[in-house]
């Protein structure tokens, strides 16, 4: 954990489990004021009394505005936001359910957009702040089982790239976080071997370190991210051969 973290107040969504929960715990332990949001008030209560629990369904745009009002009234202006609320379910190609695709896009993508819309105007008015969200290396390229999940993460990467230049001119930093496979309740659904699988606490530490360094993209494990970025550059016959051998073996 870097010393002298550059934030006084941090807002984390998706804070009840996985990477989000570990980020909250590590930041709070470092003395940062943290507001934690998730749908489950009971799970948020388990984060401890030094964390401001703000139950929230990020798919409700009105509720996100109310949440930001509450956080800033209790803790002051948000210096860093980490939008990590999301969901995942593997897709069976023999049973395509449009509702699953719509649910993931609404939660993973529009959930970030709702939070961004509620918070960003306050930061641009102040001329400072840092907003980030958790996408995935699955957003680099289409991967088996991720037909509903991957497009939402690709959209989040594109969103960050699109907004970064204009927000930077107004003093607000944008970052995108692209984890590989991390041991969480969501990845526990996978029935295949997950390469470079990481623990959630290690993923949280790397996230915090990357954001503190000011990087636009925080991706880990670096070797896995590099492999997928390289694979994306291959001609499609080679790309599909690699994916078939690595994932569908």
Catalytic positions: 149
Closest CA to 140 of 33, 233, 39: 233
Residues 6+ apart with CB under 8 A from 114: 58, 59, 60, 61, 64
33-37 and 51-53 strand pairing = parallel
53: Cα separation from own chain's centroid: 19
Q: Give the helix, strand, coil percentages of the chain, each rounded to 5.
A: 50, 15, 35
- Cα 91 to Cα 86: distance, rounded to the nearest angstrom: 16
- Cα 120 to Cα 183: distance, rounded to the nearest angstrom: 31
SS3 42: helix
130-134 and 33-37 strand pairing = unpaired
- Cα 173 to Cα 213: distance, rounded to the nearest angstrom: 12
């Amino acid at each position: 954990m870097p010393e002298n973290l550059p934030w006084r107040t941090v807002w984390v969504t998706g804070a009840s489990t996985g990477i989000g929960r570990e980020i909250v715990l590590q930041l709070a332990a470092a003395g940062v004021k943290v507001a934690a949001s998730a749908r489950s008030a009971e799970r948020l209560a388990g984060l401890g009394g030094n964390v401001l629990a703000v139950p929230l369904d990020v798919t409700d745009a009105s509720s996100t505005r109310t949440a930001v009002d509450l956080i800033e009234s209790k803790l002051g202006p948000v210096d860093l936001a980490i939008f990590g609320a999301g969901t995942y379910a593997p897709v069976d190609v023999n049973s395509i359910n449009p509702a699953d695709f719509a649910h993931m896009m609404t939660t993973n993508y529009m959930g970030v957009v709702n939070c961004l819309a509620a918070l960003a105007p306050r930061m641009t008015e102040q001329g400072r702040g840092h907003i980030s969200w958790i996408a995935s290396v699955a957003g680099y390229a289409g991967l088996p089982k991720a037909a509903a999940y991957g497009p939402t993460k690709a959209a989040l990467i594109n969103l960050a790239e699109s907004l970064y230049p204009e927000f930077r001119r107004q003093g607000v930093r944008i970052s995108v976080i692209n984890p590989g496979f991390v041991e969480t309740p969501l990845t526990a659904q996978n029935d295949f071997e997950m390469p470079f699988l990481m623990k959630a606490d290690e993923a949280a530490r790397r996230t915090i370190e990357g954001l503190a360094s000011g990087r636009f993209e925080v991706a880990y494990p670096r070797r896995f991210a590099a492999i997928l970025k390289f694979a994306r550059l291959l001609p499609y016959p080679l790309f599909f051969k690699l994916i078939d051998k690595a994932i569908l073996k």
